[in-house]
Structure 1
Amino acid sequence: MALNEVSITILETSDIHGHIMPLHYAANKETPNGLARISSYIKDMRKQEPDLLLIDNGDCIQGTPLTYHYAKFRDHLPNPVISVMNHLQYDCAVIGNHEFNYGMSIVSRAVSQSFFPWLSANILHRDTKESYFGYPYTVKEVKGVKIVIVGITTHYIPNWENPSHIKELAFEDALLSLKRWVQFIHETEQPDVLIVSYHGGFECDLETGDLTEQQTGENQGGQILKEVAGIDLLLTGHQHRILSKSVNDTYIIQPGYNGQHIGKAVIHLKKGTNSWRVENIEGEVVSMADQLPDKDVLDLVYFQEMETQKWLDQPIGYIDGDMTIHNPLKVRTHEHPMIEWINKVQMKASGVSISATSLLSNISEGLPSKVTMREIVSNYIYPNTLTVLELSEADIRKALEQSASYFTLNEEGQIDVNPEFVLPKPQHYNYDMWEGISYTIDVSKPIGERVIELEFYKEGPHHVVMNNYRAGGGGNFSMFKDKPVVKEILIDMAELLAEDLLEKKTIKAEVNNNFKVINSNAHR
């Protein structure tokens, strides 16, 4: 390659969600993902390109039993995810929304333990309005090329997060903040390459520009491409998609989730009279399925992983009956005993008589007859706490209609999942099932008119318990936003479920069939 031409490699991870080990914790089976596999790929790449840049796009320190166990019982030790990222010599990382799930002390400790800067230009001190984590952007010089990486985070976090975890913070609109910082960086730093690492995704179809979701501000990637000039490479995440393409003279990458893939961009530059010029960018998203786990990484977290495995295998109690899950759609259309139990635990913890919860993942297997912590944390995968809201009957009906939009009728006239809850990101957790009321959803009716029967057992206003994500309006449940908060139960649901089982020793698998999901046309 001529002296006036260089190529620089950028690697992106995003939404690792605590997956270091290539392991499905519920089944204890090996999986084709995780930082241990990614490490092997990075080390091979460094042999070819020693000067590559490695960037994490957020949501890395939360999401597995290993990270949960660390946050709850071992937080005096080095954070296992940060230990691995330091070992891999990350150049920077962006704050994601799930970084706050275990509380500010865990985030702050993770940042302080890191050998690299954490970026977020729009997460500010509530009082001083200065960057909370200290670095809006970082400057790197590679092969004589000046590269600036600016980090930005979806500002929708207050709609999901436990308020006590973010009370010191202010979240500036990501798009507006980025416009200001990109202009500032070009004027003051005059970079040869500007990379934006945005923990957020796209609210529109990248080909047509048509909106694919409500413009809440959660995902602003389309607006960034349209309204912010001067970005060479836009690294994204949050939606767990696989993307690698050029749009409006900006190359975009999104590398999936849980360490199943890594994003790779090769920036080709040519030297002009006074500066370098980006000629083109080649990108791809690379699967980790063929990578062997790196023994160095496995050794780094060996002892914390062993402690986690011991904790997971602790027996807690027993199920009398069948609480296993074989068909997630059936769980959502016919009341399931595990959902009934979760609602009852929420009602017990909060002291109220109406509750709403969801089946959080389609890979949940339910509970076997002998229950360990492994089964609890594998089925209740988020560190949610509980919030009690005061709601009117109209609020509850709107919420039920929002949940009812989860369904559609397929070509055979059978009840199926609305594609909007599957693409571009699976959102099965945004369908709730309620206890303490009786209702019927008719999928043959138009969206917004599907709740055909609704019975309350006492007059309102009603105190309703739900997880903190939903209480903040998360999942397009705008009817919950700014409603009076009666109380908060700041104990993780996984702990509440475990405590209930430890106390009772045996839980009976039963349902009271207080809701139905039907297709009335099928009976004609």
Structure 2
Amino acid sequence: MPTKQCEVVLLETSDLHGFLLPRSYSTRDEVEHGLARIASIVRKMRNIHSHIVLIDNGDCLQGTPLTYYHAKVNHEPANPVIACLNELRYDAAVLGNHEFNYGLPYLRSAMKESRFPWLSANTVDASTGQPMFGKPYIVRELENGVRIGVLGLTTAYIPNWEQPAHIAGIRFDDPVEAAQKWVRMMKDEERVDVVVVSYHGGFERDLETGVPTEPLTGENVGYLLCEQVDGIDVLLTGHQHRAIASNVNGVCVVQPANEGRFLGKVTLQLESGANGWTVANSQAELIAAADYKADEEIVRIVRDVEELTQAWLDQPIGFVEGDMLISSHADVRLREHPLIEFINRVQMDESGAHISNTALFDNAAPGFGRQITMRDIVSNYVYPNTLKVIRISGRDIRDALEKSAEYFERDEQGEIVVSEAYLSPKPQHYNYDMWEGIEYVLDISQPIGHRVVKLERQGQPLVEDDMFDVVMNNYRAGGGGNYTMFQGKQVVKDINTDMVELLADYIQKRVHIEATVNGNWRVVNGRK
């Protein structure tokens, strides 16, 4: 009897972060990524292949001024992200950590508009232990009887970042343990022939050597899933914004970067034998969005909300006296810049705290020109953070500064550069903090852990046993970025207004803001 064969193609997007149209919100220039370009690839794949399963792997609802405008300013129009996913006939979406950023009511509204299920087997009701948002998995059965199971998993590290109100009543279980339970059930009870795990998380180890590439906090456990869970044929990943198409322990793995730069594709060749359908061959690849034009229907769907967003972004709200533009992102992190001092001072003004820290989140922030618009604010402050004031010791402050100092290393010529650990596997510029309200010097010529060579407050050495109220964003206050010294500390004040709103309100009230630098910190390279 001849062997039956079947081809199945899995398509994955991940970490779209609301990037629907191929356009920069900072400059309005055309860019080579975005869901509209990805949509053209999806339509091409549907014309070529008979059996397609299309999955979004999480972090689609947040990340651009468009999504911020819809969530915070005007949510009367249909959710533009969901409308696009519906148009492309996604089979399912997985909950990412940023799905919770705008609160549970907004998330549930997005789910209600979705014509596809949302999956997360390990995001459970804290009181019942059952999946919180519906299905842990889906099963797609083809006309030839092939059964494809897709299990959704979410990074369990979310409580370390997210505002408690946004995840009230939710427990995030260990993804590996959840996978062991549900994969077994999918195989034994659902009789699936192919097991696909779509995990909003990444890899904690080098894919080839298995050597750890980050602290084993549990934020990313992709390697562990491939190593410890039997029966997985394909692992779709994300969260780290990496471009990966590989194989780990016999599991085909893919990760399509972020903001619609690639479409992840896994081609499965199945054969039917005495024990049913099995995977004979699997191949992962990444298809670049840059090679495709924007899909006209996606552009049409987004057009109205996009126009409203652009008008909102161009609203002038204030003026700068002096220079707050950024000419070198590296220099901003080596010596104090007026933008950083301004953000810290807004945090201190809003909170009443006398010490503050913040970060320059990426290397695209332009700073502020003479006139400030909402576009300028959201281009510089790209995350939907709120503020917390926590009470910490002088020792905690020193430890946090030492952690920030790890951002730097010296190259072969002895010059200060960004540490490779903060560039790979993904850039982490947001994990380098700059402080106001204390005076300090970081000397990068010194060993890690001994780089804080000056730490004072009001001209006096900071006493390590003294307690201080410090304002910072909610991500950092929860220990995000491996700032473990902040975890579990007393919360003196919780300010639930988004930082974009706080910055805009501060400027609008004053109209004119002054670009100032008090030089309370610097980074040095020994005697050089």
Place the TM-score, normalised by the shorter chain, in its bin: over 0.9
Give 1:493's aligned amino acid. Answer: M
Query: What are the ranges of 5 or more consecutive residues in structure 1 without an aligned counterpart?
Result: none
Partner of 2:354 in structure 1?
353
Aligned to 2:263, the other structure's residue is in SS state strand
**Structure 2 residue 276 is the aligned partner of structure 1 residue 275:** yes
Partner of 1:510 in structure 2?
516
Give 1:475's aligned amino acid. Answer: G
Match 1:494 to one of 484, 500, 503: 500
Alignment of 1:460-499 (within 5 A): 460-499=466-505
**Structure 2 residue 441 is the aligned partner of structure 1 residue 440:** yes
Note if contact 1:33-1:289 (Cα within 8 Å) is conserved in structure 2: yes
Alignment of 1:390-429 (within 5 A): 390-429=391-430
Give 1:479's aligned amino acid. Answer: M
Partner of 2:454 in structure 1?
453
Partner of 1:131 in structure 2?
131
Task: Measure, in 1, the Cα distance between the counterparts of 2:174 and 2:347.
Answer: 34
Note if contact 2:389-2:492 (Cα within 8 Å) is conserved in structure 1: yes
Post-superposition Cα deviations, 1:350-403, rounded to whole Å, max 9, x if no partner, equal: 011000000011111111111100010011000000000000000000000000
Task: Measure, in 2, the Cα distance between the counterparts of 1:447 and 1:375.
Answer: 36
Q: Offset at 1:77? A: 2.7
Query: What are the ranges of 5 or more consecutive residues in structure 2 without an aligned counterpart?
Result: none
Partner of 1:21 in structure 2?
21
Q: Offset at 1:521? A: 4.0
Alignment of 1:61-76 (within 5 A): 61-76=61-76
Task: Measure, in 2, the Cα distance between the counterparts of 1:207 and 1:213.
Answer: 15
Task: Measure, in 2, the Cα distance between the counterparts of 1:276 and 1:128.
Answer: 36
Partner of 1:169 in structure 2?
170
398-407 or 165-174, larger mean C-alpha shift? 165-174
Give 1:9's aligned amino acid. Answer: V
Task: Measure, in 2, the Cα distance between the counterparts of 1:50 and 1:372.
Answer: 48
Aligned to 1:30, the other structure's residue is in SS state coil
Q: Offset at 1:245? A: 1.1
Task: Measure, in 2, the Cα distance between the counterparts of 1:111 and 1:156.
Answer: 22
Q: Offset at 1:144? A: 2.6
Give 2:432's aligned amino acid. Answer: Y
Post-superposition Cα deviations, 1:91-118, rounded to whole Å, max 9, x if no partner, equal: 0010000001111111111111100000
Q: Offset at 1:50? A: 4.0
Task: Measure, in 2, the Cα distance between the counterparts of 1:176 and 1:69.
Answer: 38
Q: Offset at 1:466? A: 0.2
CA RMSD in angstroms comes to 1.1
Task: Measure, in 2, the Cα distance between the counterparts of 1:47 and 1:177.
Answer: 36
Task: Measure, in 2, the Cα distance between the counterparts of 1:103 and 1:361.
Answer: 25
Task: Measure, in 1, the Cα distance between the counterparts of 2:492 and 2:129.
Answer: 30
Aligned to 2:224, the other structure's residue is in SS state helix
**Structure 2 residue 246 is the aligned partner of structure 1 residue 253:** no
Partner of 1:331 in structure 2?
332
Shift of the 82–398 alpha-carbon distance from structure 1 to 2, 3 Å rule, reads same
Task: Measure, in 2, the Cα distance between the counterparts of 1:362 and 1:296.
Answer: 32
Aligned to 1:289, the other structure's residue is in SS state helix
Post-superposition Cα deviations, 1:18-41, rounded to whole Å, max 9, x if no partner, equal: 000101100011111111111111
Partner of 2:193 in structure 1?
192
Number of aligned residues: 521
Note if contact 2:3-2:273 (Cα within 8 Å) is conserved in structure 1: no
Q: Offset at 1:168? A: 2.0
Task: Measure, in 2, the Cα distance between the counterparts of 1:224 and 1:277.
Answer: 20
Note if contact 2:187-2:193 (Cα within 8 Å) is conserved in structure 1: no
Q: Offset at 1:175? A: 1.4
Post-superposition Cα deviations, 1:469-496, rounded to whole Å, max 9, x if no partner, equal: 0000000100000011101110010111
Aligned to 1:412, the other structure's residue is in SS state coil
Task: Measure, in 1, the Cα distance between the counterparts of 2:509 and 2:74.
Answer: 25
Give 2:201's aligned amino acid. Answer: G
Note if contact 2:66-2:305 (Cα within 8 Å) is conserved in structure 1: yes
Partner of 1:11 in structure 2?
11
Task: Measure, in 2, the Cα distance between the counterparts of 1:260 and 1:82.
Answer: 19
Task: Measure, in 1, the Cα distance between the counterparts of 2:384 and 2:193.
Answer: 42
Q: Offset at 1:283? A: 1.5
Give 2:76's aligned amino acid. Answer: H
Alignment of 1:107-122 (within 5 A): 107-122=107-122
Note if contact 1:203-1:221 (Cα within 8 Å) is conserved in structure 2: yes
Task: Measure, in 1, the Cα distance between the counterparts of 2:178 and 2:291.
Answer: 40
Q: Offset at 1:3? A: 7.0
Partner of 2:367 in structure 1?
366
Q: Offset at 1:518? A: 0.1
Note if contact 1:75-1:106 (Cα within 8 Å) is conserved in structure 2: no
Post-superposition Cα deviations, 1:291-327, rounded to whole Å, max 9, x if no partner, equal: 1111111111111100000000000101111111121
Task: Measure, in 1, the Cα distance between the counterparts of 2:411 and 2:527.
Answer: 13
Note if contact 2:7-2:51 (Cα within 8 Å) is conserved in structure 1: no
- Length-normalised TM-score, structure 1: 0.98
Partner of 2:231 in structure 1?
230
- Length-normalised TM-score, structure 2: 0.97
Note if contact 1:40-1:294 (Cα within 8 Å) is conserved in structure 2: yes
**Structure 2 residue 104 is the aligned partner of structure 1 residue 104:** yes
Task: Measure, in 2, the Cα distance between the counterparts of 1:51 and 1:280.
Answer: 16
Post-superposition Cα deviations, 1:213-245, rounded to whole Å, max 9, x if no partner, equal: 000000001111111111000000000011111
Q: Offset at 1:76? A: 3.1
Partner of 1:519 in structure 2?
525
Give 1:105's aligned amino acid. Answer: P
Q: Offset at 1:267? A: 0.3
Task: Measure, in 2, the Cα distance between the counterparts of 1:452 and 1:512.
Answer: 19
Task: Measure, in 1, the Cα distance between the counterparts of 2:54 and 2:74.
Answer: 28
Aligned to 1:301, the other structure's residue is in SS state helix
Partner of 1:39 in structure 2?
39
Aligned to 2:290, the other structure's residue is in SS state coil
59-68 or 71-80, larger mean C-alpha shift? 71-80
Task: Measure, in 2, the Cα distance between the counterparts of 1:277 and 1:467.
Answer: 49
**Structure 2 residue 302 is the aligned partner of structure 1 residue 296:** no
Task: Measure, in 2, the Cα distance between the counterparts of 1:128 and 1:157.
Answer: 19
Task: Measure, in 1, the Cα distance between the counterparts of 2:242 and 2:346.
Answer: 34
